[in-house]
Amino acid sequence: MPPRNALDALTMRPTRFLVSSWPWRSLAYLTGGALIGFATVFVVLGLLGAGLVLTVVVIGVAGYLATLLSGVAVGRLERWRMRIVDRDALPDPHRRPPRPGLRAWLLCRLREQATWRELGYTMVSALVLCWMDAAVVFATLYVPGALLFAPVYIHDQPLSRTVPLMLFAPLAFVIAAYPVTAWAGARAAMARAILAPRSHDTNAELVELTRSRARLVDAFEVERRRIERDLHDGAQQRLVALSMQLGLARLEVAPGSPAESSLTAAQDLAKQALAELRELIRGVHPKVLTDRGLVAAVGEAAGHAPVPVDLDLRLTGRLPEAVEVAAYFVVVEALANVAKHSRATRALVTAGLDDGRLRLDVRDDGRGGADPERGTGLVGLADRVAAVGGSVAMSSPPGGPTLVHVEIPCES
C-alpha cells in the first residue's frame, strides 16, 4: 500500500523515497506554513489595531470579532493544505447554523469549541510553528545552495578547495530530504490533532449520529440471536435434508425419464434456497464473528464486497462481544452504501485501539453527497453504536470522499 502521509513515506526504501514526490511536497507544505503564519501575524495585528482605533464608533467591535474568527479561515486553509503531505482528508468540524444570516452564523461559530481550537492553532502557528517552518526551509535550501555555489562567491580560496564543496551539494540535498519530510509529517500530525473533529462537533458534512437506544438494541440483539439460531438449526437443516431426499429420489427413477428432469430442477431450486438462506444467516450474525473475532469477520465482509477494499486492522486479540458486533455491522452497512450509492473504485477500512477506544474508519473515493436522513442506514447503526457508549460521524462533501468514523469505548 502506498504511504498515506509524510511520516509513512520515511519508512520507504531510500531509493524509492528520494525519487518520490514526498520530499518536494514536504518542502512545499513547510514553505506554505511559513508564509501563512507570517501573513496571519500581520492580518491579526491589523485587525486588532483597527478594532482599537474604531472602538469609539462601536464598529471597532467588528475588528475584535474578526480576530476571534480568524482561526476559522486559517483552520479551513490548513485542512485543505494538509492534503499535500497527508492523503486522508480532515473533515470540517463546524456545524451548519440553525438559521440563515450573519448574526446566526456568528453566534453559532462563537459557541463552538472547534472555533476556539482553531484560534488556538492559529496563535501557535503564527507565534511558533511558522518560525520553525521557515528555519527548516532556510536550512534545507541554504546549506546545499551554499555548497553548490561555493566557487562563485568564495574568492579568497583556490578552486581546489571550493570545487570539492560544490561536489558535496547533491549529498547535502539528499540528507536534507529526511529532516524536511520528518518535520512536515510531525507538523501535519500536530495540526490534525488540534483541528480534527471531536465527538461533539457536527455539521452537514460531519454528522454526529448519537441517540441512546440501549434497551431497544439489547432487545433486538436477543431477538436477532433467536432468529439466527432458528434459521441455522431449523430451516437450514430441513433444506439440507430436502436436497438429500431429492438426490436419493433421482437415483430411484429411470435415467432420461421426465421425472428425473423434474427432480433435478427441484434439487437445484433447493440448493439455491439453501445458499440464499446461508447468506441471510450470515447477514443476521456471521459465525466467523463469533468464532474468530472482528478482524476475520471484516476480512470476510471485504472479500464479499463488490468494490475492492483495502484493510488496515491494527487489532490483536478479541474485543468485547457487543463492541465487535457493533463495529462489524458498521463496516457491512458502510460497504453496502459504497457499492450502492458512491460510484467508488476503492474503499479502505482502518481500525485500531487508542486510549481505550476502538477507532474505526470506512472511507471511499466515490462521489460523496451522502445524507443519513435519506435512508442510508447509518441512523440505525448509530443507535446500535450508541448503545455501547460509542458514536458515529460521517463526512461526505459533494464530490467526495466519504468517511464514516466510529469511536467505541473498549477495554483491551
Quick check: 205 pLDDT over 60? no
Confidence of residue 210 (pLDDT cuts 50, 70, 90): very low
pLDDT of residue 203: 46
Q: Quick one: 128 exposed, middle or buried, by C-beta within 10 A (0-12, 13-18, 19+)?
A: exposed
**Residue 208 in this model has a pLDDT that exceeds 50:** no
Query: Tens of pLDDT along 136-166?
Result: 999 888 888 877 777 777 777 777 777 777 7
pLDDT at 355 over 50: yes
pLDDT confidence bin for 29, thresholds 50/70/90: very high
Q: What is the mean pLDDT of residues 17-33?
A: 89
φ, ψ of residue 160 in degrees (nearest 5): -65, -20
* Radius of gyration of the chain from its Cα atoms, rounded to whole angstroms: 30
278-to-84, 228, 305, 306, 328 alpha-carbon distances in Å: 46, 10, 17, 19, 18
Sole residue written with cell 473533529: 197
Q: Residues of the chain with pLDDT > 90: what percent?
A: 5
Q: pLDDT value at position 95?
A: 79
Categorize the per-residue pLDDT at 35 as very low, low, confident or very high, splitting at 50, 70 and 90. Answer: very high
Quote the pLDDT of residue 211: 47
> pLDDT per residue over 252-294, tens digit each?
776 766 676 676 777 677 777 766 666 555 555 667 777 788 8
| Burial label, 313 (beta-carbon count in 10 A; 0-12, 13-18, 19+) | middle
User: Alpha-carbon distance 286 to 269, whole Å?
Assistant: 24
| CB of 408 closer than 8 Å to CB of 358 | yes
- What is the β-pairing status of strands 402-409 and 357-364? antiparallel
Backbone CA torsion sign across 198, 203, 205, 210 = positive
